[in-house]
Structure 1
Amino acid sequence: MATREAYITGVGQSKIGQKLTRHPLLLTLDAFKEALDEAGLTVDQIDGVATYPGRMAGYLGFSPVGTDEVIEGFGIKAKWRLGGMELSAQLGAIAAAADAVKAGHARHVMCFRTVYEAAAMARPDEYPMPKRGRVDGMSQWTAPFNATSAVTWTAQYAMRHVKKYGLTREQLAQIALTDRANALLNPRALVREPLSLDQYMSARMIASPLCLYDCDRFSDASTVVIVSAGDAVDEVTCTPIRIAASAGAVDRDSWDQAEWMASYATGRELWKHTDYKPKDVDTVQFYDGFAFLALTWLEALGFCEVGEGGRFIEGGHRIALDGELPLNTFGGQIGAGRLHGFGFAHEAVTQLRGKGGDRQIKGDPKVAVATSGGGPLATALLLARD
């Protein structure tokens, strides 16, 4: 192994559910134990911790666990840690951990993302939402217009594709249909019912052109990814997956009147840091908090031209499990549950190790792309099994 490289070693995931009663820190522990077992590491060997966006006291359902709680609760002796929103979206924590191990700041970094949104909504006394007496900051541009959900922010970009490039709902439906079909093959997936095109087309609209089935579902779960230094992979027992390249972009904090989502700048940047090309990629795990976001990543990373995303996925054959570019093989967030980005890195590693079970893609996949974010924030990871 290249000593100046960074590798993903252990990956782990807790139960994925809704309205779970298990404490979010314990869900994090479940995922951490699984990641350690897969890597063949012990807690004593972990010397770094990273997450995004850190514990948010005002929105505990969205982010209930921080690096300090993990370090203290799990007995980690950390030399390096990172836990805040000053990153290019969720997978930016993994990219930062890769930089840290390359620089020698740590040898094995536990990266995690824990969500508890469904449970928090069910138990508002334990996880209260903040109450404000006034509207200020970014919310002054959205709350007065009842645009408090990211679905309304995403819809404006999707509608431009409808008006300018001819995107149809039948084309966009293929993201949700593919996610659902793959989720049925994933025993951990949240959604267990198939979805037909007729069901999709008759669903209620949330923010045109996005319907109910274009949106992910609040979930309770934790995902852990361990990033290890190249000169430390002789300590692991699993197949290391190299982080061949990463890229991110932060256009602005606000979604207001941005011309392009940050995924487009991120996609262009990713290929500058590697000799790999889009044609070398065997599977893509694209952020789909809303289905349209996955379509933008196809365009942004050069799998098709800008504006051609709808025609690229038409019929769903190209992005199917047995297609030329299998997409979101675990069900994505639409099918597997809203894991807020980390599920895509987890699945990319799972596929490259050939551990996908019934959802494992054919052949011998060696290169994958995992992404997170939409709107003004985005991160992409290029992963390779050397």
Structure 2
Amino acid sequence: MTRPRFAFETHAVDGRARTGVLAMRRGDIRTPAFMPVGTAGTVKAMLPEHVRETGADILLGNTYHLMLRPTAERVHHLGGLHTFMNWPHPILTDSGGFQVMSLAGLRKLTEEGVTFQSHLDGRRILLTPERSMEIQRLLGSDIVMAFDECTPYPATRDEAAASMALSMRWARRSRDGFDAGGDHAAGSALFGIVQGGVYGDLRAQSAADLLDIGFDGYAVGGLAVGEGQELMFKVLDETVPHLPAGAPRYLMGVGKPDDIVGAVERGIDMFDCVLPTRSGRTGQAFTRRGPVNMKNARHKDDPRPIDEACGCPACRSYSRAYVHHLLKAGEILGAMLLTWHNLCFYQDLMQGLRDAIAAGRLAEHAADFRATYAAGDIDPV
């Protein structure tokens, strides 16, 4: 049986939250979904098959980093990103807009696109909506993101309006460039990105512009850039009602576990964030009782697992004392075990949300999660 290019089906609704399946040619994505970040063609400190074992249905790759090294053309020549990194399941690629924004003084923004200086060798490179679509096509992305300008925070209303309008013009060019992609366009999906800063009317206008162009899914960009959780949730409350119920909604770059729970309650279906992997490399473990610094000396004699409720390999087979020792000794295994644990925690979080929505008890589940997460870690007796 031929699998669909792209189909989104809602299975259950609880308040504004919903659970379902995004079906694609390389597999199904259960929603709400968390996408581990594989920026440069790898989820740091993890084998692809182990990422899959955590429960991940889809990974995120990055246009900006892969275009610079090893280059999209080289990846394409070697069989595409799925073959290159040994991940046969769906991949979403970020368009590069966020990374280009973060270059600040190293970029020049024009109507055509963004000219920036490579952080690898200093070359001047022009990235346009058309080139972003070409790179994502060469990589073989399943979900392609439109090229946009990620509006920084803080920004005045006039600044946010000008930035949003430019992103909408680039969205049209991204749509046209994607549609010119031939066989790849026929086998993948294109998501538009809502911008507008923290201004509800600009977000509504951006959503309307994207709907007029027409996309397979709709992302909310320009959040988790310093505005804080309360303001982020306010923007979601003002934005999500303008997005179609029949398309997936993706909150880009989010986030902390309690950010995800609150965004799911507001109708978001997809998330990505470097937090679980980055934290794993710096000694922080996410647990049901909140984050824990495994470098702290109080763990050095603790025989308990990182999280007694977790079934990941780190918690099944190793003690806090051993993980603490690895981190203090600078052993790579410490980062590997913590990364594996954190990714399992995030996937367990998503499964718990999916189950709660399906059972019609999301409010109770979210309240229990918040209370336990805020309680803090317990010292050994």
- TM exceeding 0.5: no
TM-score with structure 1 setting the length: 0.26
TM-score with structure 2 setting the length: 0.27
Mark the structure with the bigger radius of gyration: 2
Q: Which has the higher contact order (CA 8 A, sep 6+)?
A: 1
